[in-house]
Amino acid sequence: MSRTRTAILASMALVAGATGAAAAAAQADVGIAAIPCTVAYTVQNQWSTGFTAAVTVTNNSAAKSSWAVKWAYAGNQQVSSGWNAKFTQSGTAVTVANETYNGSLATGGSVSFGFNGSYSGTNAVPTTFTLDGVTCNVDGGTGPTDPGPTDPGPGTGTRVDNPYAGAKVYVNPEWSANAAAEPGGSRISSQPTGVWLDRIAAINGTGGKMGLRAHLDAALQQKGTGEMVVQLVIYDLPGRDCAALASNGELGPTEIDKYKTQFIDPIAAILADSKYAGLRIVTTVEIDSLPNLVTNAGSRPTATPACNVMKANGNYIKGVGYALGKLGDVPNVYNYIDAGHHGWLGWDDNFAPAADLFKQAATAEGATVNDVHGFISNTANYSALKETNFTINDTVAGKSVRESKWVDWNRYTDELSFAQAFRNQLVTAGFPSGIGMLIDTSRNGWGGTARPTGPGASTSVDTYVEGGRIDRRIHVGNWCNQAGAGLGERPKAAPAAGIDAYVWMKPPGESDGASSAIPNDEGKGFDRMCDPTYTGNPLNNNHMSGALANSPLAGHWFSSQFQELMRNAYPAL
């Protein structure tokens, strides 16, 4: 049954002396302009003990630089976590105040926010709302069975060739708030970024952060009547990131059953909710997992004991296969497998074996290659999109560019050439010919005053490459909070042949790992590659780490890095 509440309250003076039909008549006399504000409160989703609600407030009075909305519940509803605003509750009374980035509310302007809540018994919609102490008209508030006029309706259940084509992409309000709070951050705070599901607790939300349903509900609000892509990073494999410590996860190497039943299954169940069928959900499946089995396991000098364990027990293969199969069963989900980057898999010894390994994972645990829509390169990394000042075919002083210390016999110099070539190799390995590639450009711009404008001196192949390379890392294997990096190409659909989109799957400003040991309950260790004083290991040919100092735990906000990324953005902001 619909639970809509509409009250016509023209002004506080009218409220004091008018009830019922008289109030409505007063409204007709004074006109809509007399209504100081309107509120639309919608219960978007409800289950036995909880609900998700969205609220839109429109200000019809003088412009505001800050605001506060209040209401009271008739029952025992409790707000548990919210977004786009600050929530407090005392008894039945709820107060919602603006964040720093959305305090301005013009005359005729609107602001939207949402929250998750709990209840028992009934979940009645509040009947009275105030904006800065003035009572508002309650306009079109709805219960869960009455979706309201902006509901996007069900999806077709048919996947399109490129989910990004003709679609908006979801802007994570939590990342957007962090970005907008930074000086100059409003220039990019409306860019879409990935939502990282990096532990079981992230599914329902933890530490006051939005859970998966909250993000999907917010995406429905942003969607309107057009198409909307939501980008999710699925990232909690057993023995996660076996070659590093900063992003180790919560599950031990053998906890594959827990990964399936407590992580993938609940995510798949939420994504399969018909409420979200109108969204195009892009999943980036398990960053850094399968590439580690190619380069950091076996008898190679770069092998680590932890990666050898994961190769032997097969749980990376099983976990990725299971995720692809379960998520791929949802008609509006588009799975993209992480494919490292050119400085990881671009060498001849790694290139074809990686494609073959990915095929193995894509046909494990009931999955098929048809559960894979594509692959993503450079996620959470820094490899330049295009090295414009030299090519792999150049020869200097009788030596190929491949012989330079920087390229080091790699067959690719940048991410675009690697992604396009690797796509062809994947098709050769047995993936469908229609697969597409994503390239993460969130931190590979390398702009600023140090960006070279042409090749280096032709004295030797090394001076030629060193003087001209756009990627200014000390070594292509360096990956943690790299100094001098900048924002890259803004997210864009179908930018080049075989590329579905440039994306910001790694949210700029979120740390890769702590520069010193920090006790935590997130399973994140101290990796020396995040320590700016570290002199390296075989994975980066014993070079300095190139990491920024004073970095927080992986995934935590790193203000000084965000500022540097904006300064060095290319194209410039």
* Residues noted as catalytic: 288, 512
d(CA 145, CA 367): 35
Cβ neighbors of 133 (< 8 A, separation 6 or more) are none
d(CA 394, CA 362): 37
Helix H, strand E, coil C: the string for 439-468 is EECCCCCCCCCCCCCCCCCCCCHHHHHHHH
Nearest in space to 378 (alpha carbons), one of 468, 334, 438: 438
Contact (CB, 8 A) for 343 and 291: no
- Tokens 């309000």, located at residue: 173
Q: 503 in helix, strand or coil? A: strand
Contact (CB, 8 A) for 99 and 176: no
Q: 110 in helix, strand or coil? A: strand
Helix (H) or strand (E) holding 438: strand 436-440
Strand order in the sheet with 86-90: 86-90, 93-97, 68-72, 129-131, 134-135
Q: How many CB atoms lie within 10 A of CB 103?
A: 13
d(CA 7, CA 374): 51
Contact (CB, 8 A) for 293 and 316: yes
Amino acid at 474: I
d(CA 256, CA 239): 9
CA torsion through residues 479, 485, 490, 493, sign = negative
d(CA 504, CA 488): 9
Contact (CB, 8 A) for 163 and 491: no
Nearest in space to 211 (alpha carbons), one of 380, 393, 381, 47: 47
Dihedral angle, C-alpha 255, 257, 262, 263, nearest 10 °:
80
